[in-house]
Structure 1
């Protein structure tokens, strides 16, 4: 059985990531990218689905862990009756290698360690051919299946059916390095890594990046860790920003709301981009804008809501039977069927983020503004089309108020680019369309009796996404309609003090089952409270949200308050970037809409 979601740490080389449990088992690792098939899939099943455990033989050993400051080098300290030892784990940021390093360091006395390796390639569908390839002095085990292979060095591993086990003792002052290296099976294995050099380089890279963070408000440690998470989820080669490191971790335990988040949503990536820009990272913005230009190349009408890490378009959703699911939550899905949805808000999010880059003095390239013009025209061409909304409903498309506002924002940014930044475009026509959208939203997106914004036209329901309206400058946070909307949310969407996305029982999403409070939405509520003078409530809600982070500062998608546990895919970019925005709001920063009202 996998560990609780909040018990997992992330290791990252900015191409892929490993999830390591508190008990020392790597239960999730896809190589060489986040969206590659898994080598270790026990997170979505059991140890037989692939894992690599490393811990003291003493079952009573107590672990304590932390990241080395501003890095993803994980240190787990094990205290046993016979001694104390640490495991230092990381993924080197090497330009041509993909591997995991697990260094064991003796602190005092002696500690007996046991390691167990279960290789199960391709989402647990391929058992590899395995053979010993090292020497008694330098043991190594090679496993290969189809196009992929790994080599594990540092300990003699003995086969027990499909499990390979090793044991050793570490004494005070000693070190032992275990490594797992991935490589194409038709090539020779990479040579052993210089571990000392790799540790120093990895530490220097992460801390050097973090040293550029600009933040002058409260909760600095949490903001820095969240920005590091966003960087860890950003591919250092392509610039693509994945929504999370995992697939199919359930929104409802035992349920079927299980989705693959290892892709680049234009919306989530744009929001991540804004968070990075607001804290001093223009180079990342430039890198992502180049990714965007490559990914959306072609007809504007063919723009998708999400892409693969390098801009791939084919993300066909399918169900796996080889992995039984986290605590039995099935089906396990790879790919994501939402790729074929029309979500009217997405282009607006992209254009708002690109305006933020423009305001921050990122110069427009030869193609970036023509691309934005084309995206604006695509919004206008789709203006009479209902959509599936920000939450990717699988029911009937609706006229979602949030989506219509983001379409308004898309055209508004075009007008502003021409009027205020001197770029070329049909601002008069765009202004007419923008004003038409506002009139429509004000008439059809507001409940005529209650005077609050509604989830979609013709509905009396509210939706947490409406908290975005003042964030993008559609209305002021203290607009009477917005204040009434918040009152409705507090009545209808608060569960145990935290905010749901929407009421699943309304039937709008076309799915069975329920879900837990959505972490990002509650951070949006912090921002709204802070902007309307409800400072004590904002600080209280922020404190309760920060208590949801695990011991390493990581957040998943949702939170099961009744059972005090994280739910959904992890670590979740949207949760972390919303934490950053909320912290900025508590510091008095009004964010991306401050100069637009």
Structure 2
């Protein structure tokens, strides 16, 4: 057994049944399942606490992770005191929750069938197989949907042995191999299994051409096998053979789960409003496509050899996001011609631009952490760094995937021309602060990356470009950063012009090849970051007290920054420190290898979960640390 597998086994959750537990499971006490269109969180107690049907950003059906009373859930567990452990079926996204009781051992296998391009993709089937593997166990199940984040009423009826939940906008059919009764707005049942026996529950979206269909044990087994084949077939394309294969592959599987297959979009996280601080207001909806996050995801997947995902994402941006009509964040259109070259920082998974933010005041939030938000007003922000992330992704796609088409190159030219014209604007920065625009070093750094990578593509392919203009802008940005981004007092590169505040985002400077990883200025910056923002290998983004971001409360260490720190140490030749910091970060993964956005003061995971940013950074850090260690 690998070291990572032993860590996962040793830290697997052991928790009593829900009846004796607090109202909320910790965020990290969940695993993720999905079908490349939507996803669900399954708690270590066997309860599905979060599920949006039929897509990541659809209104929730189960949201008890945001309100234990009004959110809705699908509970399924033994009706006796138990200990639980949760793990993934090897090399898949099929989740198994195992229950240990005095009289037996049972498990629930949760998955959403993925069978390539199934003609029934609109069914959105969620299957729960219950098995008794030793002795005997009594089980109870309660299916309590609360449609549209608990805002829509629904009716319940029985037809042809199925339980139908009907709301104005969505209908679900529950089929079961054990008898189910209606209890108010819910469906429930109690049953007992002895060793070798199995029960199956299937929850299907129905309507239109998708009609109710039973799910017998044989069909559930066939779908289980087909889904195993899909995930293992996909993962077999990975080229990674390094030291941390299990954790890297789990991260890759997670990134694939966050992909919306119909468009190739990649969401930043499958959840909304999971708090960065319990009781705080830093609660955001991440179920959208951040250009930055998705581009970095593609970088990580390309490193592992997954070129199809890169091709799909490039097509998504070309067809959806790069269309005219963006704004510059201040009400007007951007770009030198008023339309071309301007990107929003995020889009809906179908490419839509309008993502109005709304507070759901009827939901109390995870452990009382209000407000619960849907939509995201940050869509109107100006964040100049996205251009560097995107064009670097396109550069790597051209290098490792497929050569950029002429249409793609035309889009790149528009983007770079816009960057040459606008790189000096103040913006909200990579961390989406709501405290006013500033001239952030990271934003300027990534504008430099955008121009420099485009020039590499043009030179390598002989493509047409205004190289003189691009080179002038690139060199001007470089000199600006080296002059105004450097603080002689701090002996370090700083967050933005005019202040001496540090920011972990500058860790990207050597990673983006802007500065040598052994340059004296960079080494002193790395030391300064280590003194101010690093806590036993965990890295804070910045100090909100020194650099107010317009929000109340505190936040934990930001996990992507911790992995950036690993890479920066490795590139600086500090390999022992880098490896120790990386190994420490692995211990902060949850019991099935997943990471939320942040890590709190006592090691708890906080923020939206799981987060693509963290998993892509883990892949990159592992890849580059492996290479440095030889």
What is the TM-score normalised by the length of structure 1?
0.95
Residues in 2 aligned to 1:427 and 1:192: alpha-carbon distance in whole angstroms: 63
Correspondence for 1:167: 190
Cα distance in 2 for partners of 1:287, 1:451 equals 43
Counterpart of 1:158 in structure 2 is 181
Instruction: State how 1:90-489 maps to structure 2 within 5 Å.
Output: 90-94=111-115, 95=118, 96=121, 97-135=123-161, 140-154=162-176, 155-184=178-207, 189-193=211-215, 194-295=219-320, 296-298=322-324, 299-300=339-340, 302-489=342-529
For 1:581, the equivalent position in structure 2 comes to 620
Q: Does 1:63 align with 2:89?
A: no
Which of the residues 89, 92, 101 maps onto 1:80? 101
Shift of 1:152: 0.7
1:565–1:361 CA distance, 2 compared to 1 (3 A): closer
Deviation per CA, 1:19-65: give whole Å up to 9, x if none.
0000000010001111000000101011432000000011x212222
Q: Is the alpha carbon distance of 1:589 and 1:206 closer, same or farther for their aligned partners in structure 2, counting shifts above 3 Å?
A: farther
| Counterpart for residue 13 of structure 1 | 35
* Aligned mates of 1:80, 1:508 — CA distance in 2: 51
Q: Determine if contact 2:70/2:363 at 8 Å carries over to the other structure.
A: no
Question: Do 2:155 and 2:185's aligned partners in 1 also have CA atoms closer than 8 Å?
Answer: no
Cα distance in 1, alignment partners of residues 251 and 537 from structure 2: 23
Ranges in structure 1 where 5+ consecutive residues have no aligned partner: 591-597
Q: Distance in 2 between matches of 1:507 and 1:413?
A: 31
Query: How many corresponding residue pairs?
Result: 583
- The superposition leaves residues 459-514 of structure 1 with CA deviations (integer Å, 9 ceiling, x where unpaired) of 10110100011111100111112111111111211235411000011243111111
**Deviation of the 1:331 alpha carbon:** 0.5
Q: Separation in 2 of the partners of 1:403 and 1:328? A: 35
Quote the Cα distance in structure 2 between the aligned partners of 1:108 and 1:326: 36
1:144-166: CA deviations, max 9, x gaps?
11120001110433333444321
Corresponding position: 1:495 with 2:521: no
Corresponding residue SS for 1:587:
helix
TM-score of the aligned structures, taking structure 2 as reference length: 0.90
Asked if structure 1 preserves the Cα contact closer than 8 Å seen for 2:49 and 2:74, the reply is yes
Asked whether the 8 Å contact 2:441–2:496 carries over to 1, the reply is: yes
Tell me if the contact between 2:166 and 2:172 (Cα under 8 Å) persists in the aligned partners.
yes
Counterpart of 1:520 (choices 536, 557, 560) is: 560
Q: Find runs of 4+ consecutive structure 1 residues off by over 4 angstroms.
A: none
Deviations along 1:196-219, whole A, 9 cap, x unmatched?
A: 221111100000001111113211
* Superposed CA offset, 1:61-118 (max 9, x none): 1222211111111122222222222211100115322011001122122211000111
Which of 47, 64, 71 is matched with 1:25 structurally? Answer: 47
Instruction: Give the stretch that moved more between structures: 349-358 or 360-369.
Output: 360-369
**45-54 or 150-159: which moved more?**
150-159
The secondary structure found in structure 2 opposite 1:103 is: strand
Q: Deviations for 1:152-195, whole angstroms, at most 9, x for unmatched residues?
A: 110433333444321111122221110111124x6663322421
CA 1:187–1:544 in 2, change beyond 3 Å: closer, same or farther?
Answer: same
User: Does the 8 A contact of 2:361 with 2:372 survive in 1?
Assistant: yes
Asked if the contact 1:119–1:127 (Cα under 8 Å) also holds between the matched residues in 2, the reply is no
SS in 2 for 1:312: coil
CA RMSD of aligned residues (A): 1.5
Residue 300 of structure 1, CA deviation: 2.6
